[in-house]
Amino acid sequence: MNLPKITESIIRAGTSAHSFQRGQEYHHSGAISNPSIQGTILAGLCEGTQEPYYKVRIELDNAGVRAAQCTCAYDYGGYCKHQVALLLHYLHRPKDFAIRQEPAELLTNLSREDLLALVTRLLHAQPDLYDWFEAALAKPAQPGKSKQTRRKKVDVEVYRRQIRGILHSLDGRRPSEAYWQIGGLVEQLGKVQATAVKFLEADDPETALHILLTLLEEVGKGADYIDDSNGELGDFANGLGLPLAEAILSLDLSAVEREKLTQKLTKVGKRLGDYGMDEAVDLALQAAHEGWEGPVTLRSGSSHAAEDEREAEAFEDDDEIDSEAEDEEAYWRSHDSTDTYADLTEAKLNVLERKGCTDEYLALCQKAERYLRYALKLCDLKHVPEAVTFAKAHLGSAEEALTLAERLRDLRHTAEALAIGEHGLQLSGSKARLGEWLGPLEETQERMEQALRAWLAVFSEGPSLESYKTIKRLGAVGWGTLRPMVMDTLHKSYESRHRRRY
């Protein structure tokens, strides 16, 4: 087995000096236990201060560290000390890592009887998994197979019981306790939604529609007794609009069926509207009424972003700028147009992509100015040079560039990922997330000048001590010239925050 490579410089590039030092101390003290590697995934336990140990999981790729997770509460940017300790343990003592088989390899030699006995024991030991198994066994047909090959018709009531169980899982808890558990509840509901999407992917939109409608109905009822002050449940409900629209567009409904569906959606929408959760119904109704004949919605955020940026910059020198307007502008500039838009055009693109209608998909991307999706599809088609050229000509924001750069890295096109990331620093919108992603990657490739530019972009939007230290380290040779610029940025940031406060 060829193990992925990392270096100390790769580890240092992804963390702060303090975290690296503390991680080094943990490594030397033998804090890591049960280290393992499965493919390119490192895992292990690290001794903790507030808990006996923390679980650490790190994914590697050809450019270094792809992703890192830890169960500790660290949230200050970069790898925590426990992740650093695991990486250093892997760097210096790779033979300590037990090589784990992939799940399919682990189970492949079990007989049907052995596998049945194993699952039975698991269900007895973990009874909460029963509903999950019951829903999973009502699985969609495999893509490309006739729906008649499925052994039994899906019973939507199974999902209704599962959804109600999730929604009532907080019953009996104190209101203050239940409030903080809404996120976990929504996560469980998201798994039901994911199951519906699997039916869509298996060309069974009818079952997907029934599950999604059931989910929307029950969430609407749950809103009567669940405290959704933070809006998590409402956001989830509104997010169901896109898969609902996709399911409707994928069905060949008669006029009578459309009318019945419209009546049902309207009824559900009245309940959800009382809680501001009716966006999903609005989009589903649009799909039912317009179908594929509806107008194309242009995605203005990508093609006109540069113009919007210039207009915003015209106010930057106005000392009397209204602080409330400034805050609103900052909010929207930090939420660029790369998030999925809940419109009918987006639903159509998802359906076309799922059905493999590549030419129609690319044509609609062009017509609707969904340039990011166009470039991503070119990557999927292995037309990477064309994707890079197209992206440089059409992408409108730094956030879009980040999305494409991440995809290119996933495909192991590191040089192209760097090129798009560097291009993104010249585009409109917030560049902080792009800079935080790009800076460490540039440094692992020993491109210190480019890494410095990335971190300067981060610092200009939100100065912090850690980014300041990184800039000082990367720009040590020319620090005498660089320092006044950095301090000027810090001064302007302080003045801006002071104006907003008063």
User: Mind listing the pLDDT tens digit for each residue in 386-406?
Assistant: 999 999 999 999 999 999 999
pLDDT band at 69 (very low <50, low <70, confident <90, very high): very high
Q: Indicate if the pLDDT at residue 263 is higher than 60.
A: yes
pTM: 0.74
Compute CA distances 300 → 280, 336, 346, 353, 427, whole Å: 22, 11, 13, 22, 15
Mean per-residue pLDDT, 355-373: 96
Tens of pLDDT along 16-38?
889 999 999 999 999 999 999 99
For position 500, what pLDDT does the model report? 58
Angle between helices 232-239 and 205-222 (to 10 degrees): 160
Tokens for 252, please give them: 């060949």
Tokens for 290, please give them: 């317009």
Q: How far is CA 64 from the centre of its chain?
A: 20
Token pair 């009397």: residue? 320
Quote the CA–CA distance of 116 and 94 in Å, as a whole number. Answer: 36
Print the SS3 string covering 254-275. CHHHHHHHHHHHHHHHHHHHCC
Q: For residue 268, give the nearest of 225, 217, 226, 219 by alpha carbon.
A: 217
Tens of pLDDT along 333-344?
333 333 444 689
Q: Indicate if the pLDDT at residue 147 is higher than 50.
A: no
pLDDT band at 497 (very low <50, low <70, confident <90, very high): low
For position 103, what pLDDT does the model report? 81
**DSSP letter string, 409-477:** HHTT-HHHHHHHHHHHTTSBS--HHHHHHHHHHHHHTT-HHHHHHHHHHHHHHS--HHHHHHHHHHT-T
pLDDT band at 348 (very low <50, low <70, confident <90, very high): very high
For position 152, what pLDDT does the model report? 52
Quote the CA–CA distance of 148 and 157 in Å, as a whole number. Answer: 21
Q: Indicate if the pLDDT at residue 319 is higher than 90.
A: no
Quote the CA–CA distance of 51 and 93 in Å, as a whole number. Answer: 25
When the pLDDT of each residue in the chain is averaged and rounded to a whole number, the result is 86
Q: Which has the minimum average pLDDT: 45-59, 78-92, 301-315?
A: 301-315
Mean per-residue pLDDT, 290-316: 57
Q: How far is CA 207 from the centre of its chain?
A: 26
Tokens for 405, please give them: 């750069």
Q: What is the DSSP letter of 292?
A: G
For position 323, what pLDDT does the model report? 40
Q: For residue 32, give the nearest of 86, 83, 75 by alpha carbon.
A: 86
**DSSP letter string, 132-149:** HHHHHHSPPPPTTS-GGG
Radius of gyration of the chain (CA): 26
For position 499, what pLDDT does the model report? 60
Q: Indicate if the pLDDT at residue 201 is higher than 60.
A: yes
Q: Which own/partner pairs from 454-458 qualify as long-range (CB within 8 Å, at least 24 positions apart)?
A: 454/421, 454/425, 456/486, 457/425, 457/431, 457/432, 458/431, 458/432
Tens of pLDDT along 420-434?
999 999 999 999 999
For position 155, what pLDDT does the model report? 85
Compute CA distances 388 → 23, 224, 378, 401, 439, whole Å: 38, 49, 9, 10, 20
Mean per-residue pLDDT, 155-177: 90
Quote the CA–CA distance of 413 and 409 in Å, as a whole number. Answer: 5
Contacts (Cβ under 8 Å, ≥6 apart) of 261: 248, 253, 288
For position 149, what pLDDT does the model report? 44
For position 315, what pLDDT does the model report? 40
Contact (Cβ atoms closer than 8 angstroms) between residue 305 and residue 401:
no
For position 1, what pLDDT does the model report? 54
For position 379, what pLDDT does the model report? 97
For position 307, what pLDDT does the model report? 44
For position 386, what pLDDT does the model report? 98
Q: Which has the minimum average pLDDT: 70-74, 106-110, 185-189, 320-324?
A: 320-324
Quote the CA–CA distance of 347 and 284 in Å, as a whole number. Answer: 10
Q: Which has the minimum average pLDDT: 178-182, 208-212, 469-473, 495-499?
A: 495-499
Q: Indicate if the pLDDT at residue 145 is higher than 70.
A: no
